[in-house]
Amino acid sequence: MERKTPLYDVHIAEGGKIVPFAGYLLPVQYAGGVIKEHMAVRQAAGLFDVSHMGEILFTGPTALDTLNHLLTNDFTDMPAGRVRYSVMCNEKGGVIDDLVIYKFGDEEYLAVVNAANRHKDYAHMAANLLPGTKAEDISDSVAQLALQGPAAPAVLGSLVSEDKLPKKYYTAVRDVDINGMKCMISRTGYTGELGYEVYTAPENAVALWKTLREAGGEHGLIPCGLGARDTLRLEAAMPLYGHEMDEDISPLEAGLNFGVKMGKSDFIGKAALEAAGEPSRVRVGLEITGRGIAREHQDVFIGEEKIGVTTSGTHCPAVGKAVAMALVSADRSAAGTEVDVDIRGRRVSAVIVPLPFYHR
């Protein structure tokens, strides 16, 4: 049985088309459709309900050591108020999940994880805590709205004073008052566009949504669903768990080296990643040059040689092209390489291109 976020009734009232996703009932799109929502985020602003995301709070004197043990990134020199992306690996070096860590203080960190992986993640974290760290799944007491797009600073700026808006990408400001609601404003997102993610208590979610909708009206803000969230992140080449990475794909194969600190003394999966050496397959971008749209799990060929498989694909509205990401043999991965994608039995031409497809 799927659960509802605190905004379920709002989505219905806004004309949202509801689908089950990661155990929740969420809008895949509203009346205007995915392309309109996508372009609103690229040109003005969009508002997403991302309350389904999981939040796990780490506290205690060894919280830092626990995170450095559990996760591939290094949190040692991280200042409070910063946000850092990481991967969580299994012992084989495969990806259990990708997530972001907020540092609130030397003994307090928040992990934000994919909704579909929340219980799996928590079980793995709880089983690998160092003595002196407590992990608590607080997902049900956190609602999250994503306000994304070039107009996002103007929208939020009309509601809070300038100093409460995080200035730098991957920073956050806590305890911000928005119309009497206590929020955390984070300069993060999953769209490749300037924007914020706003965290608050579930009982504030509806009022916060309405406040942002009202403030955004004059800036062209519209509500956006899961469909646009996917096309936006794909266009920006942001990886999605279960597509570009999973328990059998390493973070190095997925091209997430920036979040994997092999120089760190140890973390779960490090030995396996070291043993595997240079990845034999890598994530690349494909631009479809023939007629068709590649989707996930379609084979990629050079002539009769299968070199890999697509992990995500669609038509991306802002670049106006059909694009895909694929895992292909490292020695066949050079930009400019001409390939074919097997789209339901039909070979369609494509070319390997540098990622991302869209740069703001």
Partner 1 sequence: MSNIPAELKYTASHEWIKNEDGTVVIGLTDFAQNALGDIVFIDLPQEGDAVTMGDSFADVESVKAVSGVFSPVSGTVSAVNGALIDNPALLNEDPYDAWLIKVSDVSETGELLDAAAYEAVCKSEEA
Which residues of this protein are in contact with partner 1, per CB under 8 A? 28-29, 33-35, 38, 227, 231, 291-293, 295, 314-315, 317, 322, 344
Q: If you count them, how many residues does the chain have?
A: 360
Do 350 and 287 contact (CB within 8 A), yes or no? yes
Q: How far is the CB of 229 from partner 1 (least distance, A)?
A: 12
Instruction: Judge contact between 47 and 209, C-beta under 8 A.
Output: yes
Residue number with CB closer to partner 1 (250 or 312) = 312
Beta bridge partners of 242: none
Residue 101 has which token pair? 């860590």
47 half-sphere exposure, CB direction, 13 A CA radius:
27
Which residue, 32 or 81, is less far from partner 1 as judged by CB? 32
Kindly tell me which of 68 and 314 has the beta carbon lying closer to partner 1.
314
* Residue with Cβ nearer partner 1 (20 or 33): 33
Could you tell me the smallest distance in angstroms from the CB atom of residue 352 to partner 1?
A: 21
Query: Based on CB atoms, which residue is closest to partner 1, 143 or 294?
Result: 294
**What is the nearest approach in angstroms of partner 1 to the Cβ of residue 314?**
6
| 119 phi, psi to nearest 5 deg | -70, -40
Q: What are phi and psi of 205, to 5 degrees?
A: -60, -45
Closest distance of CB 70 from partner 1, Å: 35
Question: Smallest distance, Å, CB 116 to partner 1?
Answer: 18
Give the whole-angstrom CA distance, residue 254 versus residue 231: 19
Q: How far is the CB of 283 from partner 1 (least distance, A)?
A: 22
- Written as six digits, the tokens of 351 are 């070319």
Q: In this complex, which beta carbon is closest to partner 1, that of residue 113 or of residue 232?
A: 232
Considering beta carbons, is residue 121 or 230 the nearer one to partner 1?
230
- Count of CB atoms within 10 A of residue 159's CB? 20
Report the nearest approach of partner 1 to the CB of residue 230 (Å): 8
Helices (H), the chain: 8-13, 34-43, 63-70, 118-127, 152-157, 205-216, 226-235, 270-276
Label residue 52 exposed, middle or buried (CB < 10 Å: 0-12, 13-18, 19+): buried
